[in-house]
Structure formats: structure tokens, C-alpha cells
Amino acid sequence: MKILILYFSGTGNTKFIANKIATKLERKGHHVTPASVENVEPEEASSYDFLVFGYPIYGYDMPKFLKGYLERLSLPSSRGGAVYDTMGYDGGNSLRVTAEKLIEKGFVVVGTAEFKMPGNDGLAITDWKSKTAQQVLSTDYGRSQEIREGVERLVDQIDAGVDRVIKQSEGNPPKRKFIYRLLTPATKLLFDIFERVFTGKFRADESCIGCGLCERICPADNIVVHGTEVEFGDDCYFCLRCLHQCPVEAIQITRFTEGKFRYRGPTGNYVPAPLVGEGREDSGSA
């Protein structure tokens, strides 16, 4: 069985989980390819038999730009699927909603999972010496029992599900949590307002060295570098990759991010998708 683990990862969490899932599935004898949506066109997924779709939570939902990607996605030969998300606080009903979208497209969803990981938005305004920052730095996420058990449950669901996909009509999405029917609209509205307000606040301060890294790694192609002048457009995904990856911490969102924590993934060596293959790829566990 050829399995594609397709994900978007702004600062490393979702890629970390993708590789954990891939390792476990390979040990069970499956042929697995973990890949970022930045490197795989939706149409290319048709050569795989089973899809695992992963994404970070933005306001109880998947990032908006991924919805269009998902609409173009299909696996015509065999429509097995699983979904996971990573979140700093709570995922709401996102897994249910995403599973339903896949079911509408003909997928049989056999597994879902959520993984609580460091939130890169809150960390961007967190002091380096704070208890929260030090806990992130000192935690070995590769040995986390909660993550390990979550990965194992999802892998077991996938492994058991690949053989019965053709016998099912739509799979079993997780139950909808009633409270989030009330909370989700308000949360999404607040997140949209937050995103619109702060997207226009990105800037590079005087410490910028003009390396152009932010331009190269921006998944939205929203950044243009002219010498040490950095221009930010209006199509930001608010993944905060540029802020956390800048080698001199020059990118800021208002004064509240100045001198604050920079998150480079669960293992501290996250390499964004555009840089993979340039001799900078992170370890298999990240």
C-alpha cells in the first residue's frame, strides 16, 4: 500500500508528527511518503492509494489556504484517508469538519488524531527566560508519551483500515462536540480579525542582513527582499515561519515580539519545505 502523508507545517510541529507517523507505518510494512503541500500539487496525489492529511489549527480550523488545496485533492484508485492536526490549545471540531470534507469527496476516513504542541503565536511574544520558553526548550518531544501514544493509535487505525476501505462507504469521523458549535464561529471571527490586523504589522528591523531567507521560505510568496529592505504583501498565511526562522531575529510584529522567543520546531532544527534538498534537511524525527 502506497501511503502519502500530506501536510502543511509553518514552524515544524506538523512535519514532526508526519515523520513520526511515517516511521511507524514503515515498520508495519507500508510504503510511505511524507510531503509538504508546498512540494506536491493536489493532482500528484492520485498516484497514491491512501492519504493521511495533517495541518495546524488556526482558530479551531485548518488554515484557510488549505481549503482550496483540499478541494482539488482526489485519490481515484483507492480512497482511504486519515486526518490529524497539531494545536497549541484546542482543535475544536476541526477534525470532524475536515473528515466530513474528505468523506464528501469519496474518501473513507479510518482514523483521526490531535496532537498538542507548542503554539508559535504565543511563543512569539514570550520572553526567552520565561517558564514557558524554558519548558519548550527542555522538553524532548521525541520521547513524549502523549505524542507516542497518539501516533501509535492513529497508525493502528490506518493499518487496520487500509484492508477494509473498499468494504466501507464513508468511514467514521470523530463525534462533533456540541460546545464548539457555539464557540467556533466566535473564535474564527476573532482569529480572522487578529490575522487581518497583525498581518499589516510585519516588518524587518535594522538588524536585517538582507540574506533573503524569509523570501525563500514564505509559503505564500508574500515577501520580497531588496537589499536590507523587506517588503511584506497582503497575502500572508500568518504561519509565522519568517519570524521564527530569521537567523538574526530581525522580523517583528509590533514591539511585542522584539527580543522574544523564536521557535524552530520540536527538535530545534526545523527546515521549511522550500529548503529541503539544499543540504539543510532536518533529522528524520523532526
- CATH number of residue 204's parent domain: 3.30.70.20
Q: Do you know the residue count of the chain?
A: 286
User: Which H or E run contains 14?
Assistant: helix 13-27
Same domain, 166 and 42: yes
Same domain, 234 and 168: no
In the beta sheet, which residues pair with residue 7? 36, 54
Same domain, 45 and 148: yes
Please indicate, yes or no, if residue 228 is contained in any of the structural domains: yes
Split into its structural domains, the chain has a count of: 2
Same domain, 138 and 42: yes
Q: CA nearest 99: which of 39, 159, 161?
A: 161
Please indicate, yes or no, if residue 61 is contained in any of the structural domains: yes
Please indicate, yes or no, if residue 285 is contained in any of the structural domains: no
Distance of CA 166 to the CA centre of its chain: 29
Which runs of consecutive H residues, i.e. helices, occur in 200-236?
213-217
What's the pLDDT at 149? 97
Please indicate, yes or no, if residue 192 is contained in any of the structural domains: no
Which runs of consecutive H residues, i.e. helices, occur in 105-239?
120-123, 131-138, 145-161, 178-199, 213-217
Please indicate, yes or no, if residue 184 is contained in any of the structural domains: no
Same domain, 220 and 117: no
- In this structure, what are the phi and psi dihedrals at residue 54, rounded to the nearest 5 degrees? -130, 145
Give the domain range for residue 209: 199-275
- Per-residue pLDDT tens, the chain, 286 aa: give them: 789 999 999 999 999 999 999 999 999 999 999 999 999 999 888 888 899 999 999 988 999 999 999 988 877 766 789 999 999 988 888 999 999 999 888 888 999 999 999 999 999 999 999 999 999 999 999 999 999 999 999 999 999 887 666 555 556 666 766 666 666 676 666 667 667 777 889 999 999 999 999 999 999 999 999 998 999 999 999 999 999 999 999 999 999 999 999 999 999 999 999 998 654 456 543 3
Whose cell is 537567523? That residue is 247
Strands (E), the chain: 2-7, 31-36, 50-56, 80-87, 108-116, 202-204, 223-226, 229-232, 251-253
What's the pLDDT at 90? 83
Same domain, 168 and 227: no
Residues whose CB is less than 8 angstroms from the CB of residue 57 and which lie 6 or more positions away in sequence, other chains included: 85, 86, 87, 88, 90, 91, 92, 94
Please indicate, yes or no, if residue 194 is contained in any of the structural domains: no
User: Which H or E run contains 69?
Assistant: helix 64-71
Same domain, 230 and 158: no
d(CA 33, CA 10): 19
Same domain, 225 and 159: no
pTM, 2 dp:
0.89
Write the CATH number for 44: 3.40.50.360
Same domain, 125 and 235: no
Whose cell is 519548558? That residue is 135
Please indicate, yes or no, if residue 124 is contained in any of the structural domains: yes
Please indicate, yes or no, if residue 189 is contained in any of the structural domains: no
Same domain, 268 and 228: yes
Same domain, 31 and 147: yes
Same domain, 6 and 129: yes
What's the pLDDT at 284? 43
